[in-house]
């Protein structure tokens, strides 16, 4: 990370819930290096106590804890707070990721992760949590090829106005509003099609393909709408890409 880029989230307080001391220390050092404040909990009970006592801006929550598991903690957190939560999940545990997202986690990071990956996820989630309301930012310049004006419902690819069907437009809207974060197939279905369509994941695949054909230079190797295998899709974190 270029150190000349200032941390717009300086002194935001991050609660790390992790019983493995070395992992907790690794995360703490990297977040502190980037100007975040860190508080820790090593059990689920402590996590809830810390949430009540220290009002963190974001929680990094490990799935494997000695008392309650991370999902129980997440459910309790959601009963009392809408603080952003990023789950720390083990490699290969796609079900854990989907379950966490559906219980209200904002994103996940898979162990082992790089400091850069961790910090960029934390920033993406904070950015969304603190974002100015959609609509107040008129022109979104994803990069030099793709520009979107959600107020006027216009999308340009290489300077050419393109036409999107309403469903494609809604899909693009939700992906871009959550840029940098994963959305599960179910979350996309519910947001774009409505709750009654949640058992029709092929709609998502189909419309992602339509959209890729319209906005991607090479739809077979997409760089805007990225596939998260067996989970869902993630729109590129264009705000971060531009900074680095
Ligand atoms: Ca653990």
226 and 235 Cβ atoms separated by less than 8 Å: yes
Q: How many domains does the chain have?
A: 2
Name the residue among 89, 83, 49, 53 with its Cα closest to residue 71: 89
What pLDDT is recorded for position 137?
58
- In this prediction, the residues of the chain whose per-residue pLDDT falls under 50 are 1-5, 133-136, 244
**Would you state the structure tokens that stand for residue 243, as one six-digit string?**
């900074």
Separation of CA 162 and ligand 1 centre (Å): 48
Separation of CA 52 and ligand 1 centre (Å): 21
Separation of CA 127 and ligand 1 centre (Å): 27
pLDDT tens digits along 148-157: 988 778 899 9
DSSP state string for 140-154: EE-SSSEEEETTTTE
Q: Look at residue 117 and tell me if it is in a domain.
A: yes
86 and 105 Cβ atoms separated by less than 8 Å: yes
What pLDDT is recorded for position 100?
93
DSSP 67: S
150: CATH: 1.10.10.10
Separation of CA 43 and ligand 1 centre (Å): 9
DSSP state string for 176-203: HHTTTSEEEHHHHIIIII-GGGTT-HHH
Separation of CA 86 and ligand 1 centre (Å): 14
- The answer to whether residues 125 and 8 belong to one domain is yes
| Cα–Cα dist 194/200, whole Å | 11
- The answer to whether residues 80 and 164 belong to one domain is no
Separation of CA 79 and ligand 1 centre (Å): 23
Separation of CA 70 and ligand 1 centre (Å): 9
What pLDDT is recorded for position 3?
47
- The answer to whether residues 22 and 125 belong to one domain is yes
Instruction: Establish how many alpha carbons lie within 13 A of residue 70's alpha carbon, considering only the half-sphere containing its beta carbon.
Output: 24
What pLDDT is recorded for position 242?
57
| Cα–Cα dist 116/121, whole Å | 9
pLDDT tens digits along 188-235: 998 888 777 777 888 899 999 999 999 999 999 999 999 999 899 999
Q: Look at residue 165 and tell me if it is in a domain.
A: yes
DSSP 132: P
- The answer to whether residues 173 and 191 belong to one domain is yes
Which of 129, 163, 182 is where one domain is finished? 129
- The answer to whether residues 124 and 143 belong to one domain is no
**Would you state the structure tokens that stand for residue 50, as one six-digit string?**
């810390």
- The answer to whether residues 122 and 167 belong to one domain is no
Class of residue 2 by CB neighbours under 10 A (exposed 0-12, middle 13-18, buried 19+): exposed
Separation of CA 19 and ligand 1 centre (Å): 5
Phi, psi at residue 91, to the nearest 5°? -55, 135
Separation of CA 34 and ligand 1 centre (Å): 23
3-state secondary structure of 157: strand
**CA 91 from chain center: how many Å?**
18
Q: Look at residue 134 and tell me if it is in a domain.
A: no
Separation of CA 124 and ligand 1 centre (Å): 23
- The answer to whether residues 13 and 125 belong to one domain is yes
Separation of CA 180 and ligand 1 centre (Å): 25
| Cα–Cα dist 236/141, whole Å | 12
- The answer to whether residues 173 and 215 belong to one domain is yes
Q: 8: domain range?
A: 3-129
- Global pTM reads 0.68
Separation of CA 113 and ligand 1 centre (Å): 14
- The answer to whether residues 120 and 11 belong to one domain is yes
Run of H or E residues at 28: helix 21-33
Which of 129, 156, 179 is where one domain is finished? 129
């Amino acid at each position: 990370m270029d150190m000349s880029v200032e941390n717009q989230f300086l002194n935001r307080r991050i609660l790390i819930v992790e019983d493995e001391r070395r992992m907790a220390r690794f995360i703490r050092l990297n977040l502190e290096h980037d100007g975040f404040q860190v508080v820790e909990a090593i059990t689920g009970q402590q996590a809830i106590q810390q949430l009540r006592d220290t009002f963190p801006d974001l929680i990094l929550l490990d799935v494997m804890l000695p008392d309650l598991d991370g999902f129980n903690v997440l459910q309790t957190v959601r009963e009392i707070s809408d603080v952003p939560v990023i789950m720390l999940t083990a490699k290969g545990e796609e079900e854990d990721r989907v379950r966490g997202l559906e219980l209200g986690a904002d994103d996940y990071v898979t162990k082992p992760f790089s400091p850069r990956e961790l910090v960029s996820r934390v920033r993406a989630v904070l950015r969304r949590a603190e974002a100015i309301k959609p609509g107040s930012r008129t022109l979104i310049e994803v990069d030099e090829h793709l520009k979107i004006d959600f107020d006027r419902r216009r999308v340009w690819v290489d300077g050419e106005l393109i036409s999107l069907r309403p469903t494609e437009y809604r899909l693009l809207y939700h992906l871009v509003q959550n840029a940098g974060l994963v959305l599960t197939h179910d979350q996309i279905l519910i947001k774009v099609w409505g709750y009654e369509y949640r058992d029709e994941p092929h709609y998502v695949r189909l419309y992602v393909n339509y959209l890729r054909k319209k906005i991607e230079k090479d739809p077979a190797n997409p760089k805007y709408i990225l596939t998260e295998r067996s989970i869902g899709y993630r729109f590129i974190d264009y705000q971060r890409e531009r900074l680095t």
